[in-house]
């Protein structure tokens, strides 16, 4: 599965050592992930690992063994069920003790419990290694007492906004968690477009068939890109004025920031003709 995953059109490939692995297979899964990271094929996708929590018997070995063997190949360690800054600080300490092997290893924090959601601002500023906050729905639903199954995206708005605001304030990415109904393309599209409109930077997929729908939701349309280029050009030619009119609407510095974000998403999607 890992060998197949690196050939997919995803920005990141995650080896999951936590919920996807039963207790009796943890050591073998760690060994498999380390071997793959050491000798796997080159790929443009970032390679990350979701480790087990440090509170359990496997988390510390996940960090130490993986980084000692494959540190330069690991883009980040994804920390599950983070509920406070101390958990990230403890992993920082482990990584600092591993020296050069850990220099390029970032962290991502999964917010998927009520306690984590309550302290998401604290978590977002807990480590200079932190790259993103990820909203995890399945465990969060259980933590909140919500029934399992498909829940309308607007029911998650408080959690989504909390994660997004904390991420933006800390200067890290906000990533939406997976939609587990892998045969429901319409439901996935609805949720991906919903979080993109809120301002999220990406969304996890749990099946290869989901990647195209998610990529499409986060890729700017031609009209959006053209407008972004026009905004940047108009402001560049504004001759010192802070605000100008474009197509009957007033644009200013806030418009420029949004236009640059659209351009960045276009480049990330491989739309190399975008300029600005």
pLDDT of the residue at 237: 82
Mean pLDDT of 208-218: 96
> Does 274 fall in a domain?
no
User: Which CATH number fits the domain that encloses residue 8?
Assistant: 3.20.20.60
Same domain, 110 and 96: yes
Q: Give the separation between CA 101 and CA 85, rounded to whole angstroms.
A: 23
Query: What is the tens place of the pLDDT at every residue in 115-129?
Result: 999 999 999 999 999
Same domain, 87 and 210: yes
Mean pLDDT of 28-38: 95
> Does 43 fall in a domain?
yes
Same domain, 13 and 87: yes
Mean pLDDT of 243-267: 82
> Does 8 fall in a domain?
yes
Same domain, 194 and 261: no
pLDDT of the residue at 270: 72
DSSP string, the chain: -HHHHTTSS-SEEEEE-STTS-GGGHHHHHHHHHHHHHHPPP-SSEEEEEPPPTTSSSHHHHHHHHHHHHGGG--EEEETT--SHHHHHHHHHHHHTTGGGGTT-EEEEEE-SHHHHHTHHHHHTS-TTEEEEEE-HHHHHHHHTPPSS---GGGGHHHHHHHHHHHHHHT-EEEE-----TT-HHHHHHHHHHHHHHT--EE--SSHHHHHHHHHHHSPPHHHHHHHHHHHHHHHTSTT-S-EEETTEEE-HHHHHHHHHHHHHHHHTT-TT---
pLDDT of the residue at 272: 56
Averaged pLDDT score across all residues of the chain: 91
- Full residue range of the structural domain in which residue 230 is found: 222-268
Query: What is the tens place of the pLDDT at every residue in 52-67?
Result: 999 999 999 999 999 9
> Does 113 fall in a domain?
yes
Same domain, 13 and 100: yes
Same domain, 124 and 237: no
Q: Give the separation between CA 135 and CA 162, rounded to whole angstroms.
A: 10
Same domain, 171 and 232: no
> Does 247 fall in a domain?
yes
Task: Choose the final residue of a domain: 196, 218, 240.
Answer: 218
Is 1's pLDDT higher than 90? no
> Does 112 fall in a domain?
yes
Asked whether the beta carbons of 214 and 188 are under 8 A apart, the reply is: yes
Q: Which of 116, 115, 97 is nearest to 105 (CA)?
A: 97
User: In percent, how much of the chain has pLDDT > 70?
Assistant: 98
Same domain, 214 and 226: no
Same domain, 167 and 241: no
Is 2's pLDDT higher than 50? yes
Same domain, 202 and 233: no
Query: What is the tens place of the pLDDT at every residue in 95-153?
Result: 999 999 999 999 999 999 999 999 999 999 999 999 999 999 999 999 999 987 788 88
Domain count, the chain: 2
């Amino acid at each position: 599965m890992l060998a197949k995953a690196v050939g997919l059109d995803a920005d990141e490939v995650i080896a999951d050592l936590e919920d996807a692995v039963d207790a009796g297979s943890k050591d073998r899964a760690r060994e498999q992930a380390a071997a793959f990271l050491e000798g796997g094929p080159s790929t443009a996708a970032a390679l990350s690992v979701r480790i087990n929590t440090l509170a359990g018997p496997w988390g510390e070995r996940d960090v130490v063994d993986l980084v000692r063997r494959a540190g330069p190949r690991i883009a980040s360690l994804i920390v599950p069920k983070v509920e406070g800054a101390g958990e990230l600080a403890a992993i920082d300490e482990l990584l600092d003790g591993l020296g050069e092997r850990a220099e390029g290893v970032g962290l991502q924090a999964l917010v998927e419990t009520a306690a984590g959601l309550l302290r998401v601002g604290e978590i977002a500023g807990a480590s200079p290694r932190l790259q993103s906050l990820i909203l995890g729905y399945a465990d969060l639903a259980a933590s909140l007492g919500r029934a399992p199954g498909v829940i309308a995206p607007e029911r998650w708005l408080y959690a989504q906004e909390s994660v997004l605001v904390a991420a933006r304030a800390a200067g890290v990415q906000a990533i939406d968690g997976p939609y587990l109904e892998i045969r429901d393309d319409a439901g996935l599209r609805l949720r991906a477009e919903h979080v993109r409109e809120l301002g999220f930077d990406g969304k996890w997929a749990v099946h290869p068939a989901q990647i195209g729908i998610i990529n499409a939701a986060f890729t700017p349309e031609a009209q959006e890109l053209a407008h972004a280029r026009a905004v940047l050009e108009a402001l560049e030619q504004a001759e010192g004025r802070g605000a100008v009119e474009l197509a009957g609407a007033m644009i200013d510095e806030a418009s420029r920031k949004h236009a640059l974000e659209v351009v960045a998403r276009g480049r990330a999607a491989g739309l190399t003709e975008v300029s600005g």
